[in-house]
Structures are given as structure tokens and as C-alpha cells.
Structure 1
């Protein structure tokens, strides 16, 4: 079943020549559930469940899907729902690096 346009999906697969072969595709959030914020930047850990990407604080919860390992100094893309205190509850996090990009 093809999800409707605007759905946030998680797709895994591989590239074979010029083609991309999709192994799995799973809907994460339907388009009628508006309000997602997308952030991109370098991750800095605040504590076990709170992380900073640029100026924004986000929390991981039991429903947060994380692609990769959250590592301080790695780049990440975060989709989250805003809270009244200005932080985000992360729905999905894609970690783009396997190690910190910041020199010790």
C-alpha cells in the first residue's frame, strides 16, 4: 500500500547500479497529523534523553525511532513535535555519521 503524499516514512534498501532497491518502507506519521519540525545539525548531548541540535533541545521518548547511534559531535536530522517549553519530542532521528566530527 502506497502511503498518501506528505507521510513521513522510514525506508531501508540498497543501491544496485543506478537503481535503488527498497527492502522495507514503513509509515511513521500520517500527513493529517501536522506540526512536525525538521532540524539538521551537529548533535550535543545534554543528558540521557535530551539532546541539542543547533539552538533546539529535543527529547527522545519510548516512541522515538533512531537510525544510527546518537553520538555527540555527529550530524543528525531530527523530526519532532514542539512542546510549550520550546523543546521538541523527537519522532524520528537520522544520525548521518558513525563518529564525532568534532576533534577532542
Structure 2
């Protein structure tokens, strides 16, 4: 199993969620976060004064998938989140040793 974490722009969430649903990914977790990378923030004007904000709003999506679905899930997120702009995001893929469905006690891929 794989655990996929994707950092995306908030306005791309619906596209990414729909792409994962189309693959049959059963669920995902979403967290509102802020951060910076190569983009290094943005400059904003507030009441006539310009100031730099180094932390940008992003969404962190986390999803656990079977090994057979991992490459297609990563590609789906890439396609859906890509805006051809700096700051489109990152995807991290981790090995997932186990998963347990608390209600039934199912383990492994059947718990996903």
C-alpha cells in the first residue's frame, strides 16, 4: 500500500477530488495549511501599504491506496492540480505498512 500526500492550491481541490473519485479512491483527508517553497510568498497591498507574506494558503490531501492504484492516483493528482504556474504543489509517496478499519478490525488493503 502507498500513502500519498499532495500539497495543492485551494482552488484546484474539486478537480483533484473528482479525478481521484473517478479512479475509485474511496476517501481522502484534507487539511488547510500554509507554507512556502520556491514561490517565496507574495506581495499584497493593505490600506495602501505594501507588505510581503511569505506563507501562502494551500491544501494538504492525504490518501491511502493499494499499490496497484498508486501510480494512477499520482498521475491523476498531477493532471488535475497542474496550472502551469509556480506554486502548483508537490506530491509525496510513502510506503504504508498497515491500515486498520477501527469499526470492523479489517487490516491491510481491505481496510482502505
Higher RCO, 1 vs 2 (CA within 8 Å, ≥6 residues apart):
2
Q: Report the TM-score range of the alignment, normalised by the length of the smaller protein.
A: under 0.3
From the CA coordinates, give the structure whose radius of gyration is larger.
2
Structure number having the greater helix percentage: 2
